[in-house]
Amino acid sequence: MLNSKKLSIFTAISAAAIATSLITPTANAALPNLPTLTAGVLTIGTDDPAYGPWFDSNTPANGKGFESAVAFAVAKQLGYPASKVKWVKASFNSVIQPGKKNFDFDINQISITEERKNVVDFSSGYYDVAQAVVSVKGSSIAKASKISDLSKVALGAQVGTTSLATINSIVKPSKKVSVYDSNDLATAALTAGQIKGLVVDLPTAFYIAATAKNAVLVGQFPAQAKSEQFGLVLSKGSALTSKVSAAVDALRANGTLKAIADKWLANVGGAPVFKK
Amino acid sequence: MTYTPSTLRLQREAARRQASRRSTTIALISTLGVGAGVVLVVTGAKGFQLVRQSFFSLHYAVHSFPSVLSGIWLNLRVMVVAEIFVLIFGLLLALARTSKSPVLYPARLFATVYTDIFRGLPLLLVLLLVGFGIPGLQISWIPNSAVLLGTVSLILTYSAYVAEVIRAGIEAVNPAQRMASRALGLSQAQTQRHVVLPQALRKVTPPLLNDLVSLQKDSGLISVLGAIDAIRAAGIETAQSFNFTPYLVAGAIFVALTIPLTRFTDWLTRKQDRARQQQGRW
């Protein structure tokens, strides 16, 4: 039995509720309903340590660095503000293993190849990769301009990188290649003189040349017929792949990717290109 | 008159045969049952097909086999060279530590400090310090090779462990042996060489072989300095294909190499035990 007092209280409360919902910003309500690991939160993985110029101070969450910026831009394109992005550590092996991943997508300078697509899903490429060579001042290849100059010396690369594949397929060195766990150790070997040249992607080469003692950028390899690209990695058959890919395509189309590259890879200017 | 076994003996033998046949059947049934149980649990798991493709792919096993095999060749070379020097250096350290003469005190002190330090330092640390630190000193006559510096690190670390094992063997030789040889007129050096060391080394052969098996695996750690051993070769293949089968191939080769060593250790130990029981020989 509705008496007038109860009715008026009820009307007042419901009016207040409607008014509040109209005034409150709709940011919270607009979170996309995507099948992420944690509802309402986008979990992004990367390796530890996270190197420059891709990240800054090993802190992916600070938004500084090319890949950190791209990740936050993709998240925003999908509808997740920076406060709803969670970063987790994902070693390279944990990214390529079959089975459940602990992230929605991973961003870690991983190149897209057909063979790898059998095991994981890739988004569209967010960066076109060029490979480059770093050496030390005064070494025999510090001023090399031809690929054939490089084939006579001891070269090194990080394990699992397409840099290693570049050495084996393009340079075809006569000396055995040295392979390192990480670019830190490879740089240590370079400064210790155990390798004469270190092959890494171009932005990393600029970073090493700027930060490591006596290191100098020798040059970059000419662009290959099939251009190599970095892509975001998702679990095979993930429901997010098409959405994430579309987000990357949109960012490329509206110029965001180029703007981010110009901001964080600005000093990655023209390195001399090797001739045959 | 030819020997014919009695009925009692025949009955006893028949009973023994039946008992052994029954225990063999039960063992077979039990093994098959456990095996079937394991197979059912593993293949019934949800992710089995994916794991099988990622870890047991025949295509990638065949594809990666040559590079993993050439990596194993590096492991073997490093292991053989390192083991020879480890045994020599370990023996010298053990002799230094067990010497009683006052004139050898600096050697005794050095051996004690050495074994403490190198048993305390992780092998990885020694590898990084020796592999990247020594070239930094730019001493011209030290070759700047990752394999050489890696082997030196292994020798430095493992001789500390082996020295302690040999020292335990030396101290385990009955003091009566030493007294007896002195009574026979043998000098200290002759005692060590003809009486103490043969017995001590025979005693510690199983732990020494154990260390050799361990060294075979640790020889792969020189890959941190850039050399391509079996595990690194497997890792390179894995990173290209995102398939883990090459690691299994490397693992299988390592196990195949270890089995002869372990069976040899068992045989040697059994032979020594038998000799000791039957002939009182040490």
Q: Which structural domains are found in chain A, ordered by start? A: 41-128+230-264 (3.40.190.10), 131-220 (3.40.190.10)
B242 and A192 within 8 Å at the Cβ level: the answer is no
Chain A residues whose C-beta is within 8 A of a chain B C-beta are 92, 96-99, 113, 115-116, 118-120, 156, 159-161, 164-165, 176-181, 185-186, 188-189, 191-195
Neighbours of A177 (CB within 10 A): 18
**How far apart are alpha carbons B75 and B78 in whole angstroms?**
5
- DSSP structure class, residue A116: G
**How far apart are alpha carbons A224 and A170 in whole angstroms?**
10
For the record, the structure tokens of B188 come out as 């200290």
Please identify, in words, the CATH class of the domain defined by B56-276. Answer: mainly alpha
| B157-161, B167-171, B225-229, B258-262, range with the lowest pLDDT | B258-262
Question: What region, left, alpha or beta, does residue A58 occupy, with left being phi > 0 and alpha being psi -120 to 50 degrees?
Answer: left
CA B100 to chain centre: 31
Q: Is the pLDDT of residue A256 over 60?
A: yes
For the record, the structure tokens of A234 come out as 């998702």
**How far apart are alpha carbons A249 and A264 in whole angstroms?**
20
pLDDT category of residue B281 using cuts at 50, 70 and 90 = low
Q: Is the pLDDT of residue A237 over 90?
A: no
| Mean pLDDT within A140-152 | 89
A177 and B228 within 8 Å at the Cβ level: the answer is yes
Bond from prior residue into B5 cis (ω within 30 degrees of 0): no
| Mean pLDDT within A108-125 | 89
Q: Is B236 on the interface with A (CB under 8 A)?
A: yes
CB < 8 Å to B222, chain A:
none
Q: What is the mean pLDDT of chain B?
A: 90
CB < 8 Å to A194, chain B:
131, 135, 144-146, 225-226
**How far apart are alpha carbons B215 and B153 in whole angstroms?**
12
| Mean pLDDT within B169-192 | 92
What pLDDT shows up at residue B56?
87
CB < 8 Å to B226, chain A:
156, 178-180, 185-186, 189, 194-195
| A152-161, B39-48, B58-67, B124-133, range with the lowest pLDDT | B39-48
**How far apart are alpha carbons B220 and B76 in whole angstroms?**
10
**How far apart are alpha carbons A118 and A101 in whole angstroms?**
16
Name the minimum distance, in Å, from the CA of A200 to any CA of chain B. 15
A194 and B243 within 8 Å at the Cβ level: the answer is no
For the record, the structure tokens of B171 come out as 């101290």
Angle ∠(A136,A139,A143) on CA atoms, nearest 5: 90
**How far apart are alpha carbons A62 and A48 in whole angstroms?**
15
For the record, the structure tokens of A3 come out as 């008496």
Angle ∠(A67,A68,A69) on CA atoms, nearest 5: 90
B57 backbone dihedrals φ, ψ, rounded to 5°: -85, 120
Residue of B nearest to A161 (CA): B239
Expressed in angstroms, the distance from the first to the final Cα of chain B is 45
pLDDT category of residue B54 using cuts at 50, 70 and 90 = confident
What pLDDT shows up at residue A4?
66
pLDDT tens digits, one per residue of A174-219: 988 999 988 889 999 999 889 999 999 888 898 899 888 889 999 9
- B279 vs A140, higher pLDDT: A140
pLDDT tens digits, one per residue of B66-103: 999 999 999 999 999 999 999 999 999 999 999 888 99
B235 and A159 within 8 Å at the Cβ level: the answer is yes
> Who contacts B157 (Cβ-Cβ below 8 Å, separation ≥6)?
B118, B121, B123, B126
Neighbours of B107 (CB within 10 A): 16
pLDDT category of residue A273 using cuts at 50, 70 and 90 = confident
| Mean pLDDT within A72-89 | 92
Nearest one of A167, A244, A171 to A199, comparing CA atoms? A167
Residue with tokens 């897209």: A112
- DSSP structure class, residue B200: H
Q: Is the pLDDT of residue A26 over 50?
A: no
> Mean pLDDT: which of A201-215, B113-127, B262-276 is highest?
B113-127
Q: Is the pLDDT of residue A222 over 90?
A: no
**How far apart are alpha carbons B37 and B55 in whole angstroms?**
21
A178 and B240 within 8 Å at the Cβ level: the answer is no
Q: Is the pLDDT of residue B11 over 70?
A: yes
| A181-190, B174-183, B270-279, range with the lowest pLDDT | B270-279
pLDDT category of residue A27 using cuts at 50, 70 and 90 = very low
pLDDT category of residue B43 using cuts at 50, 70 and 90 = confident
Q: What is the mean pLDDT of chain A?
A: 86
CA B53 to chain centre: 32
Q: Is B248 on the interface with A (CB under 8 A)?
A: no
Percentage of the residues of chain B whose pLDDT score is greater than 90: 63
Residues in chain B: 282
Nearest one of A92, A86, A83 to A49, comparing CA atoms? A92
B226 and A195 within 8 Å at the Cβ level: the answer is yes
Pairing, β A42-46 against β A105-106: parallel
Q: Is B150 on the interface with A (CB under 8 A)?
A: no
